[in-house]
């Protein structure tokens, strides 16, 4: 009897753990952008990672045939469980949970991080990833997700994957030449899943420009708190808000949310170009409280500011600012932010500081890459930018 009890108890704990992973908010806003929709003719891949695991870091994993940079949870140093990454072949991958795909509670689930680590280690293209899926479909695949991919051969695709099947969507086949995704699959049950409001908002933001760029996504999309169903003051009006009392904004359905742990934008290369020039832009922490740093796989280990210690230094500063931006505790109260912390009539908000410094970083990085830098020069540049980003965040009070 005692053995039966322990078995039931263990199964119950495991079930609770799996359910809690979903309820903790593993919901993301993403986009796969083909070369036909970008300003410079190179594909882009974007993910705002929304999760209960707010402590993220970036690590380098040396592997064969491909090494890779990986966005991981803070306690992970192995890189065997990845939430976004890019490898030495220029293959980049992200995911978002798709809650309307077929699932079976008796089958393996929640292994998307392992699938992406496998892909980074072994795949050079979207076609390679499709072959990987074909070989591994079955009850133990452990997938219920949209995977976004770009590669150095011109590939830009979304794979809607559940244990027993998948559907491939090429961004180039869409009228806009890009695919925005949240937490439903186009091949899944209609009007099921989640993230429809975020999907609408991200789609609106993408349509505002004729050609997309990583600059635009980093500066204008990752930090967006707009809501197509609720009035939110436009950014240009924030500087007219009085700082004398809090100005609360609900962000439970916005792109930047209280559970946004990080954001990544992968800037690929034009078809046939050297994949070494692919760039991973990473914002550690809630984007409104942090700034982007560029990384390259050929450098190897990223700057310590993005991974060192239990809490990476840049993330620590970001979390400090987040506590000021979202001071309300308990239940749904964390979904509200105080807008005057970002900008106000007396110029005491920090968002202009972050955006101004990030614009400088973006411009300097463009100019730097035009010089075809060596790995040692890239490493030095990475370190310098990370240090400056960290100092800027530390200067904000």
- The pLDDT of residue 315 is 98
Q: How far is CA 119 from CA 75, 97, 116, 126, 354, in A?
A: 21, 17, 5, 10, 34
CA distance 69 to 62: 9
Helix (H) or strand (E) holding 248: strand 248-250
Round the average pLDDT of the chain to a whole number and report it: 93
**What is the mean pLDDT of the segment spanning 217-244?**
96
pLDDT for residue 195 is more than 90: yes
Q: How far is CA 340 from CA 234, 258, 326, in A?
A: 13, 16, 11
**What is the mean pLDDT of the segment spanning 189-193?**
92
Please write the tens of the pLDDT for every residue from 277-296: 999 999 999 999 999 999 99
Q: Is residue 2 part of a domain?
A: no
**Residue 151 φ then ψ, to 5°:** -145, 180
Give the confidence band of 22 by pLDDT, cuts at 50, 70, 90.
very low
CA distance 256 to 106: 34
Q: Is residue 110 part of a domain?
A: yes
Number of domains into which the chain is organized: 1
Give the confidence band of 26 by pLDDT, cuts at 50, 70, 90.
confident
**What is the mean pLDDT of the segment spanning 227-248?**
95
Q: Is residue 4 part of a domain?
A: no
- The pLDDT of residue 272 is 87
pLDDT for residue 202 is more than 60: yes
Give the confidence band of 21 by pLDDT, cuts at 50, 70, 90.
very low
**What is the mean pLDDT of the segment spanning 183-191?**
95
pLDDT-above-90 percentage for the chain:
91
Q: Is residue 16 part of a domain?
A: no
**What is the mean pLDDT of the segment spanning 115-119?**
98
Give the confidence band of 275 by pLDDT, cuts at 50, 70, 90.
very high
**What is the mean pLDDT of the segment spanning 157-178?**
98
Q: Is residue 6 part of a domain?
A: no
- The pLDDT of residue 11 is 36
CATH of the domain at 224: 3.60.60.10
Q: Is residue 11 part of a domain?
A: no
pLDDT for residue 35 is more than 70: yes
**What is the mean pLDDT of the segment spanning 229-244?**
94
pLDDT for residue 168 is more than 80: yes
pTM: 0.93
Q: Is residue 7 part of a domain?
A: no
> Residues 129, 162: contact at Cβ < 8 Å?
no
Q: Is residue 29 part of a domain?
A: yes
CA distance 202 to 181: 9
Helix (H) or strand (E) holding 95: strand 92-97
Give the confidence band of 12 by pLDDT, cuts at 50, 70, 90.
very low
Give the range of the structural domain holding residue 249, as residue numbers without chain letter.
21-394
């Amino acid at each position: 009897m005692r053995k039966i009890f322990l078995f039931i108890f263990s199964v119950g704990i495991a079930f609770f753990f799996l359910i809690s992973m979903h309820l903790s908010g593993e919901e993301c806003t993403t986009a796969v952008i083909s070369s036909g929709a970008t300003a410079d003719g190179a594909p882009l891949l974007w993910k705002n990672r929304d999760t209960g695991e707010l402590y993220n870091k970036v690590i380098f994993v040396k592997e064969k045939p491909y090494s890779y940079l990986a966005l991981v949870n803070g306690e992970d140093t192995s890189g065997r469980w990845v939430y976004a990454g890019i490898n030495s072949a220029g293959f980049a991958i992200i995911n978002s949970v798709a809650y309307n795909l077929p699932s079976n509670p008796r089958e393996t689930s929640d292994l998307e991080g392992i699938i992406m680590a496998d892909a980074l280690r072994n795949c050079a293209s979207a076609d390679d990833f499709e072959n990987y899926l074909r070989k591994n479909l079955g009850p133990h695949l452990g997938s219920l997700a949209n995977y976004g991919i770009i590669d150095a051969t011109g590939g830009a695709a979304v794979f809607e994957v559940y244990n027993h099947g998948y559907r491939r969507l090429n961004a180039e086949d869409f009228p806009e030449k890009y695919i925005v995704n949240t937490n439903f699959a186009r091949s899944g049950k209609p009007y099921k899943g989640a993230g429809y409001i975020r999907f609408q908002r991200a789609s609106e933001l993408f349509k505002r420009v004729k050609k997309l760029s990583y600059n635009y996504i980093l500066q204008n999309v990752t930090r967006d708190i707009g809501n197509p169903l609720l009035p939110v003051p436009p950014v240009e009006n924030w500087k007219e808000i009085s700082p004398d009392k809090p100005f609360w904004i609900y962000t439970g359905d916005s792109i930047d949310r209280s559970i946004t742990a990080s954001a990544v934008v992968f800037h690929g290369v034009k078809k046939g170009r050297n994949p070494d020039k692919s760039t991973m832009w990473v914002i550690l922490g809630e984007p409104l409280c942090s700034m982007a740093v560029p990384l390259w796989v050929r450098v190897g280990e990223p700057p310590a500011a993005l991974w060192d210690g239990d809490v990476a230094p840049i993330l620590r500063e970001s979390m400090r600012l987040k506590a000021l931006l979202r001071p309300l505790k308990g239940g749904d109260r964390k979904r509200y932010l105080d807008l005057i912390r970002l900008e106000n009539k007396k110029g005491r908000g920090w968002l202009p500081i972050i955006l101004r410094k990030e614009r400088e970083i973006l411009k300097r990085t463009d100019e730097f890459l035009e010089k075809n830098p060596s790995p040692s020069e890239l490493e030095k540049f990475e370190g310098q930018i990370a240090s400056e980003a960290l100092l800027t965040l530390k200067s904000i009070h």
